Structure 1
Amino acid sequence: MYKESFLMAWASLIANKMRSILTMLGIIIGVAAVIALVSIGNGVKQQVSDSISSLGSNLLMVMPGAPRTPGVRPTASSQRSLKEGDYKAIAKLDGVAAASPFTSNSYVAIYQSNNWTTTVSGVSPSLQTINNLTMKDGRFITEKNVQNRERVAVVGSTIVKNLFGNEDPVGKDIRVKNIPFKIIGVLESKGNSSMGEDQDDVVYIPYTTAMERVQGVDYLRMVYVSANDDNGINRLQADIENLLRVRHNIKDSNLDDFNIRNMQSIMETMQQTTSTLTLFLGAVAAISLVVGGIGIMNIMLVSVTERTREIGIRKALGATYNVIVTQFLIEAVVISLMGGIIGIIFGIGASQLISKFSGMSTVLSIPTIFLSFGFSIAIGLVFGVYPARKAARLNPIDALHYE
């Protein structure tokens, strides 16, 4: 019975090709939209996760200045509250795997007749471990470079490209604020971040040299702190807060002249946000499937009307209520099944094209593909029930007399 019903449904679709294609269109668009939009949402989620993970999920960033609150403008002195002594005290805390001070500004780097505006950052040797920096050539800054306030620099590939071209930069001098810096190493290229920032447009020098010789300041812009493990990061954050309150003689936590960003918390928040966005995009696209289901119900009602005499003949020959219902339900499911398959092909293709032409990362989700396909079949069943029951309830005598 099922085989015969399937063959009859298929014959009906073939006999009315254009109508069948238009009926499937809602399902095709719905399934394709769900797959494409969810893949975009997953791509955004992956980019954010990769960007934060590249810094390390067990990373804390200690910065001067109280957290910004509405109506409160931080004073200039609060932005200078983080000192070298604070960094050294933090580095000695239990649970700290590595710590590096960080102070930076934008300067023009010059080599012979070439110049390039870039970010010059003062750091310690530990930054290489914290930020997973890999050397392409030469070496990174050492503790001796820091202690002796040496004028040495490690540069990214963007600096090499714009100042040196095809020359080997290691051993050569660049000038920053008319101060010569000998290049001791070149970093492996990291490309652009998920925010579009060029991660290779950097010059790293010893933080002591940056503070005294270049910037002329006695405060730090930030301290990067890497925890021994992800589980102890919240405890370490609390220890750093207590330490800085003691060092800065702060008795009320509301008066903190520093703030700490926990990358693990930021990652969790961003993942929750992007997951909600992905769910929203999928839900919006799923509306097209419901519209497609209404189209199926509409065309099945038309089919019942067109085939009233056929139904009457089948009932007169002994077809039961269940046989008629099954026939029309199978026909509705075949329409949604074909629409779902075509929609999957279009959805995967659209996802790949978006990634190729927009540069936006997309990540296909196998569960989403199966879910949208299953939902499309369910839509066919649900919206096919009313027309099928209407057909099965026809009086055979009235149906035979229908013209």
Structure 2
Amino acid sequence: MLIGEIILVAFDAVVANKLRSLLTMLGIVIGIAAVITMVALGEGAQRSVEARLSTLGANVLTVRPGQSFAGGLGRGQAMLSVEDAEALRQAPQYIRAVSPEMETRVQIEHGTSNANLSVVGAWPSYFTVNNNQIANGRLFTEAEDRGRRRVAVLGALVGAQLGGVTSESLVGQTLRIGGVPFEVIGVLAEKGSQGFSNPDESLYIPLSTAQFRVMGSDRVRSIAVQATGEADMGNAMVEIDQILRREHRLRSGEAADFNIRDQASLLSTVQETTQTFTLLLAGIAAISLLVGGIGIMNIMLVSVTERTREIGLRKALGARPNDILFQFLIESLVLCMAGGGLGLLLGLGGSYALQRLAGWQTAVSPEAVMLAFAFSACVGVFFGLWPARRAASLAPIESLRYE
């Protein structure tokens, strides 16, 4: 038999039993759709983490207060001060920039509108350390920080929280932060949400102004430190540890009352965890593909039994065993590939629905699509081979006698 004729016969056999073929494909459809959706969710999470890494700023370390100890007993939460940050930027070797920070939520007023937003007090170097870009206006200066000037830089979405206006339209106007008037001098470019915080909905004021006019404390929440390069991150951590131990008068071997964290490493850990869960979910979804493959093998065996006389007749008319083998393999491949196509469409639709309705970030990669089709073909070949070989091995005379 000609190859074209074999393929047509295989397609006719699939189409002749539409309902049975559709039910047989159902396992493949569900499996491919589940794999595509799970991989899309994982890929979206990976890209979200990468976006956060790019917005954190390069080579950033964060110093936070730790537990204070005396005589082996905890004395409570330790504190960080501006003096600690000053010490870190005195003749540094592996430190490029330093910015102490403090943050609280304060009632912000503009005209008749008000909102409870996050207010960050920091040095001007904060914007360099955290890779912030100015979109309109300007940033505050060190002179304004020393002079405790009442100036503020807004996140890109602050205006939307204050009466639904644009943040750019507030430049040059006066806001009241905790009842204290501040002049808006600039607006930052949008960065996007970062976990539990959204820098686009925050206001930024000079640190000294925040300490003495808004928050009433001379302590800082954390100190952001930018290393001179990625290769110097370890050296920068050692340098920070040595300087702060000296400032806090900690003896050698005594537990530190501060913590140093690498934000990029933290998010990389989250990224690895997300990837592991993605593979786990995709693996669970792939089980349904195997179940679907077993269903296809079962139906193909039934088909061989039903068409035993047809197989005998074809062999009597000159069909070779390889022709019969190829015909049943084509039928199995058609079922799997058609199921894979329907599953792909269902998976794409599910990914889009999750993104639009649930707000989850999803991304379907071409590699995932190609892998899904390749896996469908492999399932078709693997689970169709035994029924096909069984059909090809039937003896013509016995097949013709079969009732």
Give the alignment's TM-score, normalised by structure 2.
0.90
Cα distance, 1:331–1:148 mapped onto 2, change above 3 Å: same
Aligned equivalents of 1:164, 1:370: Cα separation in 2: 48
Task: Give the aligned partner of residue 290 of structure 1.
Answer: 290
SS of the residue corresponding to residue 200 of structure 1 reads helix
Letter in 2 for 1:83: S
Q: Alpha-carbon deviations, 1:201-256, whole Å to 9, x = none?
A: 22211111222333332321111112232222222112211221222222355611
Residue 88 of structure 1 is matched in structure 2 by 86
Alignment of 1:181-330 (within 5 A): 181-191=182-192, 193-195=193-195, 197-252=197-252, 255-330=255-330
> For the structure 1 residues 144 and 13, does the alpha-carbon distance in structure 2 shift closer, same or farther, using more than 3 Å as the test?
same
**Runs of at least 5 residues in structure 1 that lack an aligned partner in the other structure:** none
In structure 2, relative to structure 1, the CA distance for the partners of 1:371 and 1:254 (3 Å cut) is: farther
| Residue matched to 2:402 | 402
Letter matched to residue 127 of structure 2: Q
Task: Within 5 Å, give how 1:115-154 maps onto structure 2.
Answer: 115-154=114-153
1:38 aligns with 39
Residue 109 of structure 1 deviates from its aligned partner by 2.6
Tell me how many residue pairs correspond in the alignment. 396
What is the distance in 1 between the residues matched to 2:157 and 2:347? 37
Distance in structure 2 (CA, Å) of the matches to 1:187 and 1:301: 66
Deviates more, 1:3-12 or 1:298-307: 3-12
Q: Which amino acid aligns with 1:183?
A: V
Letter in 2 for 1:127: Y
The change in CA–CA distance for 1:325 and 1:170 in structure 2 (over 3 A counts) is closer
Once residues 77 and 263 of structure 1 are traced to their aligned partners in structure 2, the CA distance between those partners, rounded to angstroms, is 22
Query: Offset of 1:165 from its aligned partner?
Result: 5.9
- Return the offset for 1:158: 4.3
Give the equivalent residue in structure 1 for 2:107.
108
Bigger mean CA offset, 2-11 vs 276-285: 2-11
Partner residue in 1 for 2:55 = 54
What is the DSSP-based 3-state SS (H/G/I as helix, E as strand, rest coil) of the residue aligned with 1:181? strand
Determine if contact 1:65/1:74 at 8 Å carries over to the other structure. Answer: no
Match of 1:348 in 2: 348
2:359 and 2:77 map into 1 onto residues whose CA distance is: 43
CA distance in 2, matches of 1:124, 1:94: 20
Q: Which amino acid aligns with 2:89?
A: A
Contact 1:157 1:188 in 2 (8 A): yes
Counterparts in 2 of 1:293 and 1:77: CA distance versus 1, 3 Å: closer
Residue type of the partner of 1:11?
D
SS of 2:220's equivalent in the other structure is coil
Matches of 2:372 and 2:307 in 1, distance apart?
Answer: 31
Offset, 1:142? 0.3
**Deviation (angstroms), 1:378:** 0.7
Return the alpha-carbon distance in structure 2 between the equivalents of residues 269 and 50 of structure 1: 15
The alignment status of 1:389 with 2:389, answered yes or no, reads: yes
Deviation at 1:164, TM superposition (A): 6.5
Q: 1:24 to 1:74 in 2, by over 3 A?
A: farther
8 Å CA contact retained: 1:57, 1:267: no
Deviation per residue, 1:154-206 (Å, 9 max, x gap): 22344434447659433433333443323222333445x15364433222111
Query: Structure 2: where are the runs of 5+ without partners?
Result: none
User: Alpha carbons of 1:113 and 1:387: their partners in 2 closer, same or farther (altered >3 Å)?
Assistant: closer
DSSP-derived class of the 2:305 partner:
helix
1:52, distance to aligned residue in structure 2 (A): 3.1
User: Residues 67-126 of structure 1, C-alpha deviation per residue, up to 9 Å, x if partnerless?
Assistant: 9xxxx9964441x1x121211222242232322110122222334544322222211111
Match of residue 334 from structure 1: 334
Superposition CA RMSD, Å: 2.4
